[in-house]
C-alpha cells in the first residue's frame, strides 16, 4: 500500500513511524511531502520514508493521502493539490474542524475520511475517532482502520459532528490531563516537595489511577467513594473542588474546544 503523508510535524511523523513499525507499509512505499527544502532535509533525517518537495511528484500513484497540516494551512495546501488528486485515492484528513464537504469540494474527490487522533499515538496509546463519505468502500474502510489502529484504539462514528466533539474530548484531552497534573505538581511544590519528587508523586498517581480504572468495571464515582473516608482528606478536597467549580470549569473547557473546532470548519 502506497501512502503519502502531507505535513511531517507531530502527527505526520507519528503516523509515518507507526505505519513502518507495524509493517502496514514499507519505507519505500511511504512518502512524506514537506513544504520547504529545509523541512525536506530535516524529515529525510528521520529515515521513515521518501521525502518530497513538490506535490505533483508524489501525489500520483499513491493509494492513500493523509493531510496532517494545521487547519490554518489547509487553504494553501488545497491550492497546491488542485487537479492532482485522483478519484480512486482515499483522503484521510486529521485537521481539526475542516469539514468533509470542504475537503470534497477543494480536492474534487469523493473518497474522504475525517479522523481525529491524539498525541499518545506516539506510543501506540492513541485514541482516534473517524468517519467517512459513502464512496469509501467497506474494504477501504477496513484498510484505513488497520492503519489508524497502529497508533492505538479507534472508533467509527456515523455523524461528522462527533468528530468535532471527539476533538474536544480525546483530541485535545491529553492537554487537559497535563493541565491537571501541572496543578497538582504546583500544589506539591507549595507543600515543600522538590520538583522531581512532585513529578514522581503526581505522575505515578495518574498512571496508577488510570490503570486501576481500566482494570475494573467501576465508575469514577465508585472509585472516588473508595478513596474517600468519611470526614477524611479526600472529602475535604472534593468539597473545595465543588466550591471552586473545577468540574464545571473542565466541562466549559471541553465545550470551548468543541466550539472552536466548529468555528475552524467555517
Ligand atoms: N498535535 C495534536 O495533538 C493533534 C493534532 N491534530 C491535527 O493534526 C494536524 C497537524 O498537527 P501537528 O502535527 O501538531 O502540527 P505541526 O505543526 O507539528 O505539523 C504540521 C506540519 O505541516 C507542515 N506543512 C504545512 N503546510 C504544508 C504543506 N502545504 N505541504 C507540506 N507540509 C506542510 C508544517 O511545516 C509542519 O511541519 C492539525 O491539523 C491538527 O488539528 C489532530 C489531533 C491531535
Ligand atoms: O489543538 C488543536 O487544535 C489540535 C486538535 C486536537 C489537538 N490538537
pLDDT digits (tens, 9 = 90+) for 225-244: 999 999 999 999 999 999 99
Q: Give the nearest ligand 1 atom to 76 CA.
A: 29
Closest CA to 89 of 115, 62, 56: 62
Q: Which residues are annotated as a binding site for NADP(+)?
A: 6-11, 68-71
Report the pocket of ligand 1 as residue ranges, CB < 6 Å: 6-12, 33-35, 39, 68-71, 73, 76-77, 80, 94-96, 116-119, 171
Q: How far is CA 163 from the centre of its chain?
A: 11
Contact 87, 110 (CB under 8 A): yes
Task: State whether ipTM is beyond 0.85.
Answer: yes
Q: CA 47, CA 128: separation in Å to the nearest integer? A: 25
Closest CA to 207 of 81, 120, 144, 266: 120
Inform me whether the pLDDT recorded for 256 exceeds 90: yes
pLDDT at 266: 84
Q: What is the pTM of this model?
A: 0.95
Residues 159-194 pLDDT 10s: 999 999 999 999 999 999 999 999 999 999 999 999
| Burial environment of residue 240 by CB neighbours within 10 A (0 to 12, 13 to 18, 19 or more) | exposed
**Mutation pick for ligand 1 pocket among 5, 7, 122 (CB with most ligand atoms within 8 Å):** 7
In terms of DSSP bridges, do strands 112-116 and 30-33 run parallel, antiparallel, or are they unpaired?
A: unpaired
Please state which of the four CATH numbers 3.30.1360.40, 1.20.120.530, 1.10.3730.10, 3.40.50.740 is assigned to the domain occupying 173-264: 1.10.3730.10
Residues 29-81 pLDDT 10s: 999 999 999 999 999 999 999 999 999 999 999 999 999 999 999 999 999 99
Domain ranges of the chain: 3-159, 173-264
Q: Is the CB of 96 under 6 A from ligand 2?
A: yes
Please state which of the four CATH numbers 3.40.47.10, 3.30.470.10, 3.40.50.720, 3.40.250.10 is assigned to the domain occupying 3-159: 3.40.50.720
> Ligand 1 centroid vs 76 CA: distance in angstroms?
13
For ligand 1, atom 44, the nearest C-alpha belongs to 118
**266, three cell numbers:** 467555517
Residues 36-44: contacts with CB under 8 Å, at least 24 apart: 39/8, 43/8, 43/13
Percentage of the chain lying above the pLDDT 90 cut: 98
Amino acid at each position: 500500500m502506497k501512502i503519502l503523508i502531507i505535513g511531517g510535524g507531530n502527527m505526520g511523523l507519528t503516523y509515518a513511524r507507526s505505519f513502518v513499525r507495524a509493517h502496514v507499509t514499507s519505507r519505500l512505499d511511504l512518502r512524506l511531502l514537506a513544504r520547504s527544502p529545509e523541512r525536506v532535509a530535516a524529515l529525510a533525517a528521520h529515515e521513515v520514508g521518501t521525502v518530497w518537495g513538490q506535490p505533483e511528484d508524489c501525489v500520483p500513484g499513491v493509494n492513500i493521502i493523509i493531510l496532517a497540516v494545521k487547519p490554518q494551512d489547509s487553504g494553501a495546501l488545497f491550492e497546491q493539490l488542485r487537479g492532482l488528486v485522483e478519484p480512486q485515492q482515499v483522503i484521510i484528513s486529521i485537521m481539526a474542524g475542516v469539514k468533509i464537504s470542504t475537503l470534497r469540494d477543494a480536492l474534487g474527490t469523493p473518497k474522504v475520511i475525517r479522523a481525529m487522533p491524539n498525541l499518545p499515538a506516539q506510543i501506540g496509546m492513541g485514541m482516534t475517532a473517524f468517519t467517512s463519505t459513502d464512496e469509501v468502500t467497506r474494504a477501504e474502510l477496513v484498510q484505513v482502520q488497520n492503519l489508524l489502529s497502529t497508533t492505538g484504539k479507534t472508533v467509527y462514528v456515523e455523524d461528522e459532528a462527533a468528530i468535532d466533539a471527539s476533538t474536544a474530548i480525546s483530541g485535545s484531552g491529553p492537554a487537559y490531563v497535563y493541565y491537571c497534573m501541572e496543578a497538582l505538581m504546583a500544589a506539591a511544590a507549595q507543600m515543600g516537595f522538590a520538583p522531581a519528587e512532585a513529578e514522581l508523586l503526581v505522575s505515578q498517581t495518574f498512571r496508577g489511577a488510570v490503570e486501576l480504572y481500566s482494570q475494573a468495571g467501576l465508575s469514577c464515582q465508585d472509585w472516588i467513594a473508595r478513596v474517600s473516608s468519611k470526614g477524611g482528606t479526600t472529602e475535604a478536597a472534593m468539597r473545595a473542588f465543588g466550591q471552586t467549580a473545577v468540574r464545571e470549569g473542565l466541562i466549559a473547557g471541553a465545550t470551548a474546544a468543541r466550539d472552536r473546532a466548529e468555528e475552524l470548519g467555517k
